Chain A
Amino acid sequence: METAELTQEEQFQARIDADVRIEPKDWMPEAYRKTLIRQISQHAHSELVGMLPEGNWITRAPSLKRKSILLAKVQDEAGHGLYLYSAAETLGASRDQMLADLHSGKAKYSSIFNYPTLSWADMGTIGWLVDGAAILNQVPLCRTSYGPYARAMVRVCKEESFHQRQGFEIMQTLCEGAPAQKQMAQEALNRWWWPTLMMFGPKDADSPNTEQSMKWRIKRFTNDELRQKFVDMMVPQAEFLGLTVPDDKLQWNETKQGYDFGDVDWAEFWDVVKGNGPCSRERLQARVQAHEDGAWVREAALAHAEKRRQRAETAAA
């Protein structure tokens, strides 16, 4: 038989090439497992930390309707984190270890959440722009080669679309409102545009993991491809809102049927990745404190479960 001559790794690659999904108990190269654990846990951490900039506005939402929507969105993000942590656990990662790595600063999360949310328009911009970018990143992940990750992403994507629409609606309402409201929307776009473009990661030339991840079909598009798609998608939406994208190099390119746009400030990008974002410390502190403040609840729940188990045992005896 021909397959008998292939190494385990070649057989694995053949399954990937045939678009056969890899499931938890299947053999996989250690590097594939490690790459996935790193990517999925980073993704989960981003969902978790992503609750913080928006949490800031739950008590300040302009109406009960907006407050209910924002609460639901933040709850979804907690849910997304949980789907993803459970996908990472199927690869043998421990939940406690992943959280410990987040809290110690060893694990990374999306840099976008290290920027402050200064006005209500930031809630609109995060939903419309940031979640819009997240959707572009995440839709191809619904077909990623690792089964549990792909299935988690299907759920996430269904819910993200609500997030983006509620954000766009906030922007539309502001843009159709008083001049001061429209100004607020424009300022939010000015603040978030460039950090959002950074969400797609470094340029392809500076992204050493991309090639292997594409080969394993963990990733389906490169960072630059997705960034281009995002700009092409968002510029007409900004035009609809009557907002100006803060990039003087932005121009329609008839030949490539897409926009040319300016370069991201990569020095800022790497600085924020290194943990020097405007809110990096505050975010991590808030996370650690929430975890520590919840310690007694986790212990009490275990003690309660143990007591009930013992009681049931005594009753049965």
Chain B
Amino acid sequence: MSQKEWPLWEVFIRSKQGLDHKHVGSLHAADAEMAIQNARDVYTRRLEGVSIWVVESKHVHASNPDDAAAFYEPANDKIYRHPTFYTVPDSIKHM
């Protein structure tokens, strides 16, 4: 008996035209074609999607949560990037 596990795939589903694909979970499949078929059976039994992407999990690279503070910190002190940073006179409309 083979001791080898089928590879793990991450599944992304577009719930309807005009929306982006969203991660919904993962599953095991021998290849991409089977992963898409399995994703159809596991994640779209009730019309949850019109399009499926699968990516083998080993190909996903992720940022490290331990670095989050330093990694996202630069965005924190640039409040001038937000429109609310600027005061607009009351008499000015449409801005």
Chain A residues close to B by CB (< 8 Å): 23, 25-27, 72, 75-76, 79, 82-83, 86-87, 89-90, 94-96, 148, 151-152, 159, 295, 298-299, 301-302, 304-305, 308-309
Within 8 A of A (CB), among B1-45: 1-6, 8, 25-28, 30-31, 34, 41-42, 45
Known interface pairs A301-B30, A301-B34, A305-B31. Does A86 touch B25 (Cβ–Cβ under 8 Å)?
A: yes
Among the listed A25, A151, A152, A302, which residue makes an inter-chain contact with B4, where contact means beta carbons less than 8 Å apart? Answer: A302
Can you add 18 more A-B contacts, CB < 8 Å, to A94-B5, A305-B34?
Answer: A26-B65, A72-B45, A75-B45, A76-B45, A86-B25, A87-B25, A89-B8, A89-B26, A95-B28, A96-B3, A152-B25, A299-B1, A299-B2, A301-B30, A301-B34, A304-B30, A308-B31, A309-B31
Interface size class of B (residues with CB under 8 A): 20 to 34
Inter-chain residue pair count (beta carbon < 8 A): 57
Q: Does B64 contact A (CB under 8 A)?
A: yes
| Residue B79 CB within 8 A of the other chain | no
Question: Which residues from B are CB-within-8-Å of A90?
Answer: 26
* B residues whose Cβ falls under 8 Å from a Cβ of A: 1-6, 8, 25-28, 30-31, 34, 41-42, 45-46, 62, 64-66
In the assembled complex, how far is the CB of residue A3 from the closest CB belonging to chain B, in whole angstroms?
A: 10
Distance to closest chain A CB from B58 (angstroms)? 13
Determine if B31 and A79 form an interchain contact, defined as CB atoms under 8 angstroms apart. no
Kindly list chain B residues whose C-beta atoms are within 8 Å of the C-beta of A295: 1-2
B31 to chain A, nearest CB (A): 4
Residue ID in chain B nearest A75 by CB atoms: B45
**B49 to A: closest C-beta gap in Å:** 13
| B26 adjacent to A25 (CB under 8 Å) | no
Q: Nearest 10 A-B pairs (CB), nearest first?
A: A301-B30, A305-B31, A305-B30, A86-B26, A299-B2, A26-B65, A86-B25, A96-B5, A25-B65, A295-B1
Between A26, A87, A89, the greatest number of chain B beta carbons within 10 A of the residue's beta carbon is seen for A89
Asked if B66 and A27 make an inter-chain contact with CB atoms under 8 angstroms apart, the answer reads yes
User: In the bound complex, how far is the Cα of B67 from the Cα of A27, in angstroms?
Assistant: 12
| Alpha-carbon gap, A23 to B41, bound state (A) | 26
- Chain A residues lying within 8 Å of B64, measured Cβ to Cβ, are 25
Partner of A302, one of B6, B27, B45: B6
